[in-house]
Amino acid sequence: MRCGPSGKRFVSLEAGEHKTGHISAGPNEGILFFDNVFPLKLQKLLRFSVLSNEQTPGFLNRLLTLQVTGTDPSKFIERASREKNLSIKPIETVSRVKEGGAFVKFTHEGNIPMNEIEQVLQTYVQENQVKPWWNPFTKMHVSLVRGRPWVEDLFRFPTSRVKVEFIPSEPGAEAVELSQEQLYAHFRPYGKLGDIVVQAPDSKIVPRYAYLDYARKPDAIMAKNCLHGFLVAETEGGGKKGTVLRLGYEERIKAHWIRDWLFNHPRVVIPILAALIATITVAVFDPVRTWFIKEHITRSLHFQDNKIYKWIKGYASNILSRYRHHKDDVGMEAVWDDRKGNIEQIQTWLMETADTFIIVQGPRGSGKRELVLDQALKNKKNKIVVDCKPIQEARGDSATINAAAQEVGYRPIFSWMNSISGMIDMAAQGATGVKTGFSETLDSQLNKIWNNTTTALRQIALGARHKDDKDANIGDDEWLEAHPERRPVVVIDNFLHKSQEGGIVYDKIAEWAARLTTANIAHVIFLTNDVSFSKSLSKALPDRVFRQISLSDCSPEVAKKFVITHLDADVDDDPPHKDGSPKELPSKTRDDLAELDTCIDLLGGRLTDLEFLARRIKTGETPTKAVKEIIDQSASEILKMYIFGTDDSDSARRWTSEQAWLLIKELATKGSLKYNEVLLSDTYKTGGESVLRALEQAELISIMSGPNGRPASIKPGKPVYHPAFKRLTEDRVLKSKLDLAILTDLVKIESATIEKCESELLLLSKLRSQPAQMMGRVQYLLAKLATSQEKVERYEGEGKGLKKILGEEF
């Protein structure tokens, strides 16, 4: 405490008189509270513990003197007293820096009511509008302190919410809880109230309390300092003994209000969250995924393609040449010589500008992949192979997405998030009633993978462009069209593998390939076993003529050369002779190789079968014995894959054993069947074409096209199948059993026909009159019934002979 020049006392501490926390007013004395005396925002500085000492820091003490701020309330009272003829005199000032105000104790003569003094000072404030220099847009306010203010220097700071507790005026007395109307009457004069929240009636918390929310923090400060300790008389609703108001600041904290708002507004939050996730994915992960795809295509991170690694490997191979092993495909030189025209044709197409597909079609084991990758694209650096087989065989959306991503090097991939986001989307749809789009379908996920791959392929193609080129001034699209040799090559292997299962995989791949070719981004080569590939690809490119190469089995001369080359390839791996004599080639020393001509006629020119034959001959078997073993093995596979187990409940096959056996028996005799002739047989009356297509997909048969691309003939699926069919038909017990099954099936068909004819004849016989026009129908039914009966008798007669064989032989 210190005295000013005029004898007024200035209290710099904020703990009240003698640090008691209160300011006492004697007879003929009063207390006024002024706001906007100090900057209210200084409380943010006072929140630091270093500034919360018992005494205000020196620099603030000098800065916040009333002479410096220009808002000395005691001087204001002196001016008002002179100009308004008020006999009041300030005697003490208590600064409240953290509340931005000050208490002023004054004396008066006692002949003027306190309310009148307050009214005169408030009017004087309005007329003069004293404004602090730090904020010229606010003015100072004054109010009379009606209670007993609590002046504390605790680490508490003002808020716009005031908590009012109702305290008894003396021990043992009962406090009365004021109503909202009564609270409004007492507190509204100090500022605009936003809300009054009273305590719940069933609450057990004492003392009873209420919350008052002011629109402005200075108004709450004024009310708290003026009404703290105010005694509400009985006439004002305070009860017989009166009720004391105890005021304090209360933080307006709503627990978990952010979380509650998020959960209470799902229709707004979930779409925003989905948009944020999509934005982050596109902005962060898409460039990373595109980079990984580019590295997968260019193989810049594969050390096997490094020049230094290749040089070291080649040098070591030359030193250790005696331990060098030949690859299994050394015999392919003869095949490539035979297919040199196909290789050169593919290479020529890759140098031309044509926005269409290149299709290499051929049966399994015909060497399609080796022809394209190892020969036609041998010197092509930027190429990518997309194998449809693992993608189509994947079970579930997540596995399909993973398989597609691995084929192109798309990473990171969060396929597990697809299931989680699907569950979130279902829950959100149940809560909001509308679909949020948070989850993504398999279709959209595959589109992302193919789109990122398209971006990577385009960047690779344009990466060969330089500023010094003659055509550097043309656009990217024109440059890609003008330089087909710079485009990467996309090889789609096993296209239409298990096409009968359907699905969106093949459609999406075909659409993606169409975008690559039409935009001149890459060349696309399809490798397929399916002869009906044009139906699927025509949907993607309906107005294009495909460039097609059909691979068939090797000719007997090439097949023989292939086998002999395989036999001679491993001579270098054999240990040298002890006498130092040169090694001899098997093709010149073995006498049984003369059997190859006859064996190859039986085996055919399928590369996989020829390679299998060469390996068996290497082990010491004669060609005749090796072919016999291969035929026997093929016959066993046919029985297992196409005959036995077709009637099981868990079988997914779309043909019966009788339908497969009919083809086997007829092809063993004739070697080739007319397509429509098979469909006319009774066994193929129901769903005949779908059964034949299924058997073609399973590779039991091959359907050959005739004029205008229509199905014309049926042949065995592999050349080795023809002697295997013969081998099966030579088994009398097996043939009798399966023929009997066919006859039994035919008897069922004819019996059903007889039953229908009899039912209709019975219906006609019940008519009262028999018109002459009905006789033709009756004769037709009788003739049909007789024909079916004749067939039944013939089938049963044949069946007796077959049953006799089954009963006599093992």
Non-local (6+) Cβ contacts of 334 within 8 A are 558, 561, 562, 565
Is the Cα dihedral 10, 15, 18, 22 positive or negative? positive
Q: What is the pLDDT of residue 704?
A: 86
Q: What is the pLDDT of residue 519?
A: 93
Q: What is the pLDDT of residue 429?
A: 57
Q: What is the pLDDT of residue 711?
A: 87
Q: CA 87, 89, 92 angle in degrees (round to 5)?
A: 160
Tokens of 277: 């996730």
Tokens of 23: 């300011």
Tokens of 520: 């001149």
* Residue in 523, 521, 468 with CA at minimum distance from that of residue 492: 523
Tokens of 639: 């029985």
* Residue in 186, 317, 170, 140 with CA at minimum distance from that of residue 239: 170
Residue 167 to residue 178: CA distance in whole angstroms: 11
Q: CA 648, 687, 641 angle in degrees (round to 5)?
A: 35
- The length of the chain in residues reads 810
Number of CB atoms found within 10 A of residue 131's CB: 15
* Residue in 202, 123, 124, 198 with CA at minimum distance from that of residue 166: 198
* Residue in 30, 40, 183 with CA at minimum distance from that of residue 118: 30
What topology does CATH give the domain 353-550?
Answer: Rossmann fold (3.40.50)
Q: What is the pLDDT of residue 286?
A: 83
Number of CB atoms found within 10 A of residue 314's CB: 10
Q: What is the pLDDT of residue 302?
A: 59
Residue 319 to residue 312: CA distance in whole angstroms: 11
Residue 708 to residue 452: CA distance in whole angstroms: 40
Residue 97 to residue 221: CA distance in whole angstroms: 12
Q: What is the DSSP letter of 547?
A: E
Q: Do the Cβ atoms of 493 and 388 come closer than 8 Å?
A: yes
Residue 760 to residue 391: CA distance in whole angstroms: 53
Is the Cα dihedral 294, 299, 302, 306 positive or negative? negative
Q: What is the pLDDT of residue 314?
A: 61
Non-local (6+) Cβ contacts of 745 within 8 A are 656, 658, 683
Q: Which residues, given as ranges, of the chain have pLDDT below 70?
A: 1-16, 42-70, 253-256, 278, 281-282, 301-331, 415-440, 499-503, 570-583, 645-652
Q: Do the Cβ atoms of 234 and 182 come closer than 8 Å?
A: no
- pLDDT tens per residue, range 188-237: 999 999 999 999 989 989 999 999 999 999 999 999 999 999 999 988 88
* Residue in 409, 404, 410 with CA at minimum distance from that of residue 508: 404
Q: What is the pLDDT of residue 707?
A: 74
Pairing of strands 29-34, 142-144: antiparallel
Q: What is the pLDDT of residue 587?
A: 73
Phi first, then psi, for residue 687 (nearest 5°) are: 60, 40
Return the bridge partners of 95, or none: 102
CB-count exposure of residue 474 (10 Å: 0-12, 13-18, 19+): middle
The architecture in CATH of the region 161-253 reads 2-Layer Sandwich (3.30)
Residue 523 to residue 487: CA distance in whole angstroms: 7
Q: Do the Cβ atoms of 78 and 97 come closer than 8 Å?
A: no
Tokens of 199: 């305590």
| Stretch (H or E) spanning 807 | helix 775-808
Q: What is the pLDDT of residue 276?
A: 80
Tokens of 550: 């059909």
Residue 103 to residue 225: CA distance in whole angstroms: 9
